[in-house]
Structure 1
Amino acid sequence: MNNWFKFVCFTLLAIFNAKINAQDKIIVGEKESVFSKILNENREIWIHLPKTYNDNSINPAKYPVIYLLDGEINFEYYAGMTDFLSKPPYADIPECIVVGIKNTERTRDLTPTKSQKKSPVNPNITLFSDSGGSENFTKFIQEELKPFIHKKYRAQDYSVLVGHSFGGLFAIHTFLTHPEAFNAYVANDPSLWWDNKVLISKTKDYLEKNKKFPAKKSLYVTQADNEEQQKNWDSDMTQAIDEFRTIVEKNGTLNYKHRFFEGEVHGTVSYPGNYEALKFVFKGFRTNIKEFAKNPGLLEEEYKRFSDTVGAEFIPSEPYLNVIIKFMKSNGFKESETYFMNVKNKLYPKTK
Structure 2
Amino acid sequence: MNKWLKFLYLPVFLVFTLGKAQEKLTIGEKQNLFSKVLNENREVWVHLPKTYHDATINPANYPVIYLLDGEINFEYYTGLTDFIARTPYADIPECIVVGIKNTERTRDLTPTKSQKKSPVNPAVTLFADSGESENFVKFLQDELKPFIRKNYRTQEYSVLVGHSFGGLFAVNTLLTHPDYFNAYVANDPSLWWDHKIMITKTKDYLEKNKKFPAGKSLYVSQADNEEQQKNWNSDMTQAIEEFKEIVEKNGSLNYKHGFFKGETHGTVSYPGNYEALKFIFNGFRTNIKQFAKNPELLEEDYKRLSEKTGAEFTPSEAYLNTIIKFMKSNDFKESETYFINLKNKLYPTMK
Q: TM tier, shorter chain?
A: over 0.9
TM-score, scaled to structure 2: 0.94
* Alpha-carbon distance in structure 1 between the residues aligned to 2:249 and 2:303: 30
The count of corresponding residues between Structure 1 and Structure 2 is 339
Structure 1 match to 2:9: none
| Counterpart residue number, 2:3 | none
Alpha-carbon deviations, 1:17-72, whole Å to 9, x = none? 65522x2x111111000110000001110000000000001000000000000000
Gaps of 5+ in 2: 1-13
For 1:64-75, list aligned pairs within 5 A.
64-75=63-74
1:263 aligned partner = 262
Contact 1:48 1:99 in 2 (8 A): yes
Instruction: Give a deviation string over 1:167-188, Cα, whole Å, max 9, x none.
Output: 0000000000000000000000
Distance in 1 between residues matched to 2:341 and 2:17, nearest whole Å: 46
> What amino acid maps onto 1:72 in structure 2?
E
| 2-structure distance, mates of 1:303, 1:330 | 24
Partners in 1 of 2:305 and 2:40 — Cα distance? 39
In the alignment, is the contact (CA less than 8 A) between 2:188 and 2:221 conserved in 1? yes
Q: Which amino acid aligns with 1:77?
A: Y
Q: Is the partner of 1:47 in helix, strand or coil? A: strand
Distance, in Å, in 2 between the alignment partners of 1:298 and 1:227 is 45
Aligned equivalents of 1:232, 1:114: Cα separation in 2: 25
Query: What is the distance in 1 between the residues matched to 2:305 and 2:316?
Result: 14
Match of 1:195 in 2: 194
Paired residue type of 1:115: S
Structure 1 segment 144-293 matched on structure 2, within 5 A: 144-227=143-226, 229-293=228-292
Q: Distance in 2 between matches of 1:288 and 1:209?
A: 42
Q: Which residue of 1 aligns with 2:117?
A: 118
Match of 1:350 in 2: 349
For the residue of structure 1 that corresponds to 2:44, the secondary structure is strand
Secondary structure of the corresponding residue to residue 218 of structure 2:
strand
Residues 127-177 of structure 1 show CA distances to partners (whole Å, capped at 9, x for unaligned) of: 000000100000000000000000000010000000000000000000000
Task: Give, in angstroms, the shift of residue 123 of structure 1.
Answer: 1.1
1:72-151 aligned within 5 A: 72-151=71-150
2:305 and 2:313 in contact (8 A); partners too: yes
- In the aligned structure 1, how far is the partner of 2:91 from the partner of 2:199? 32
Which residue in 2 is equivalent to 1:7?
A: none
State the match for 2:21 in structure 1: 20
Name the residue aligned to 1:34. 33
What secondary structure, in the 3-state scheme, does the structure 2 residue paired with 1:219 have?
Answer: strand
Alignment-derived partner of residue 328 in structure 2: 329
Tell me how far 1:226 sits from its aligned partner: 1.9
- Report the CA distance between 1:227 and its aligned residue: 4.9
Identity %: 78
1:292 and 1:264 mapped to 2: Cα distance?
A: 40
Assess if the C-alpha contact under 8 Å between 1:33 and 1:44 holds in 2. Answer: yes
SS for the counterpart of 2:265 is: coil
Structure 2 distance, partners of 1:44, 1:16, is 36
Please give the secondary structure, in 2, of the residue aligned with 1:115: coil
Structure 1's unaligned 5+ residue stretches are 1-12
Structure 1 counterpart of 2:245, one-letter code = T
8 Å Cα contact 2:163/2:186 also seen in 1: yes
Q: 1:228 Cα shift?
A: 5.7
Secondary structure, counterpart of 1:160 in structure 2: strand
* Alpha-carbon distance, 1:231 to partner: 2.2
